[in-house]
Amino acid sequence: MDATSRFGQFVTSHPEWAETTHLDALRASQYARLDAQNQVYLDYTGGGLHAASQLREHTDMLDSMVLGNPHSLSPSSMDMTRRVEQARAAVLDHFNAAGDYTAIFTLNASGALKLVGEAYPFAAGGHFLLSADNHNSVNGIREFAAAKGADVAYAPLTRPDLRLDMPAMRALLAQAGGATPATPGLMAFPAQSNFSGVKHPLSLIEEAQAQGWHVLLDAAAYVPTNPLDLRAVRPEFVVMSFYKMFGYPTGVGCLLVRNDALPLLRRPWFGGGTVNFATVQGRMHVLSSGEAGFEDGTLNYLSIPAVEVGLRHMQSVGVEAIQTRVRCLTAWIIAQLMALRHSNGRPMVRLYGPTDMAMRGGTVTMNFYDPNGHLVDYRRVEELAGEARISLRTGCFCNPGAGESAEDLSADDMRAGIDAAGAAINLQRFMQVMQERGGKSAGAIRISTGIASTFADVERFLEFVGGFRDQTALTIGTVSFDIESCRVVREGS
């Protein structure tokens, strides 16, 4: 089928695409560098792209103002303080959180997560409950919890959809009658998986809170393509990185804390900017109230106004339009990938996570298999994609729990791999062991669409992967895997 007919088929199956055509014009005017360099960008879950106008507006501001370190009374400082506070108000407005939440600027989502982890009142008898699907910066909070004697538990995922196993999650939430002020419990999950694109149910927030839990919502992979209304769902803590939403600036993230939950957090230290008073001789300090008590040292103050610019850009495009566009493209990608077959009829692609569009976002993770059912080396796919000027991502995306669930890797599998791969983890050896233990893969290939994605981008990717048809040259698999039954095919069976 030629390109025009394919596009015709696409718009017929996704008529709502018509609501997003202003994004094609935006791509041509604001993201022209992609086409000028013949690049296809498919890593929006890794980082968003900025519009040319965002940079211009920000640099015009820097050029036209004299801006100094905020929080003093000089004109340059007061101007800077005003711009930082304006950005803070814009963040709260964007999430419909003004008056209810405090916005704490951090370096990134990880910085925001660490603030919660180190300051949450974990205690012996208390709990940290998290989904197996989580970024490592959420997984890492288990170290703070365990160090303070709290119980750490993971809620498993279902296979092959990689959704939360809700009965198991509910049983864990109900453990010991829920969480109490004396034995506090923090429950953490991502609104959208950075591995599978699954959108976990936000209704879980209220369910957990009804049983005494505090909820930490990792919104980093969700907010770039979905609206989040913090009057509709009210987690105690929400984290995000702004570069994922609109590409620029990097180095600024945010922790949103519900105001009534702010007194729960007890900072384990103080530093410049976080105290109203500190004495060396008297060995005491008084922490600043509100966000100031959490913003260590000097803020990335020149970059923070670019957050307001980025939010305005996103709002002018329309978060719903971005969401619709990403949904249409993702549905098309999935349908096309699932239809790819070698000449012998065997499927070429194994998708991880949902293959329908219910409760899923624009992140699609996969591995390729050759005509004999042998795994294709995802590292070689990345290299070849790079040669074709396509940016995608491979590995485990800092989300080991989702990857292990996707491949049904058990603690035994992981121990065997770790033992064989040695303390420094020889990845080649590790991958071999995973193959030997049932054709499992230690990593995958991830693509994701966003604000500047076009149908042509997606078609370039599909054409690229079509080139793996009948190829055996990129194989690393040592066993033959049947994608449809998810089983290793033994010789002669």
Ligand X SMILES: Cc1ncc(COP(=O)(O)O)c(C=O)c1O
Could you say whether residue 220 binds ligand X (CB under 6 A)? yes
486 catalytically annotated = no
Region of 63-71, 107-115, 272-280, 415-423 interacting with ligand X (CB under 6 A)? 107-115
Comparison of 190 and 305: residue with beta carbon closer to ligand X: 190
Could you say whether residue 81 binds ligand X (CB under 6 A)? no
**Contact with ligand X (CB under 6 A) among 43, 133, 218, 413:** 218
**Contact with ligand X (CB under 6 A) among 20, 102, 194, 453:** 194
Could you say whether residue 139 binds ligand X (CB under 6 A)? no
Region of 48-56, 106-114, 161-169, 325-333 interacting with ligand X (CB under 6 A)? 106-114
Closest to 215 in 3D by CA, of 148, 269, 154, 261: 261
Could you say whether residue 221 binds ligand X (CB under 6 A)? yes
Comparison of 254 and 474: residue with beta carbon closer to ligand X: 254
Report the C-alpha gap between 157 and 252 in whole angstroms: 31
Q: Which helix or strand (DSSP H or E) is residue 90 part of?
A: helix 75-94
Region of 87-95, 104-112, 304-312, 483-491 interacting with ligand X (CB under 6 A)? 104-112
**Shortest spacing between CB 217 and ligand X, in angstroms:** 10
Orientation of helix 3-13 relative to helix 455-466, angle to 10°: 120
Residues that bind ligand X (rule: CB under 6 A) add up to a total of 13
| C-beta separation of 294 from 115 below 8 A | yes
Interstrand relation of 127-131 and 40-41 (parallel, antiparallel or unpaired): unpaired
Comparison of 221 and 307: residue with beta carbon closer to ligand X: 221
Q: Coil, helix or strand for 31?
A: coil
Report the C-alpha gap between 170 and 168 in whole angstroms: 5
**Contact with ligand X (CB under 6 A) among 131, 137, 330, 365:** 137
**Contact with ligand X (CB under 6 A) among 94, 114, 135, 199:** 135
Could you say whether residue 300 binds ligand X (CB under 6 A)? no
| C-beta separation of 297 from 327 below 8 A | no
Contacts of 16-19 with CB under 8 Å at 24 or more apart are 16/324, 16/327, 16/328, 17/324, 17/325, 17/328, 19/321, 19/324
Binding to ligand X (CB under 6 A): which residues in 17-46?
45
| C-beta separation of 175 from 127 below 8 A | yes
**Contact with ligand X (CB under 6 A) among 49, 91, 104, 109:** 109
**Shortest spacing between CB 241 and ligand X, in angstroms:** 3
**Contact with ligand X (CB under 6 A) among 81, 139, 226, 241:** 241
**3-state SS record for 255-314:** EEEEHHHHHHCCCCCCCCCCEEEEECCCCEEEECCHHHHHCCCCCCCCCCHHHHHHHHHH
Region of 80-88, 105-113, 118-126, 176-184 interacting with ligand X (CB under 6 A)? 105-113
**Contact with ligand X (CB under 6 A) among 190, 197, 347, 401:** 190
Region of 217-225, 299-307, 421-429, 431-439 interacting with ligand X (CB under 6 A)? 217-225
Report the C-alpha gap between 363 and 114 in whole angstroms: 25
| C-beta separation of 365 from 45 below 8 A | no
Closest to 220 in 3D by CA, of 250, 265, 249, 254: 254
Report the C-alpha gap between 144 and 116 in whole angstroms: 10
* Burial of 222 (C-beta count, 10 Å sphere; 0-12/13-18/19+): buried
**Shortest spacing between CB 110 and ligand X, in angstroms:** 3
Comparison of 135 and 342: residue with beta carbon closer to ligand X: 135
Closest to 486 in 3D by CA, of 371, 380, 369, 393: 369
Catalytic residue among 254, 328, 396, 398: 398
Comparison of 224 and 417: residue with beta carbon closer to ligand X: 224
Binding site residues, ligand X, CB under 6 A:
45, 108-110, 135, 137, 190, 194, 218, 220-221, 241, 253
Catalytically active residues, by annotation = 398
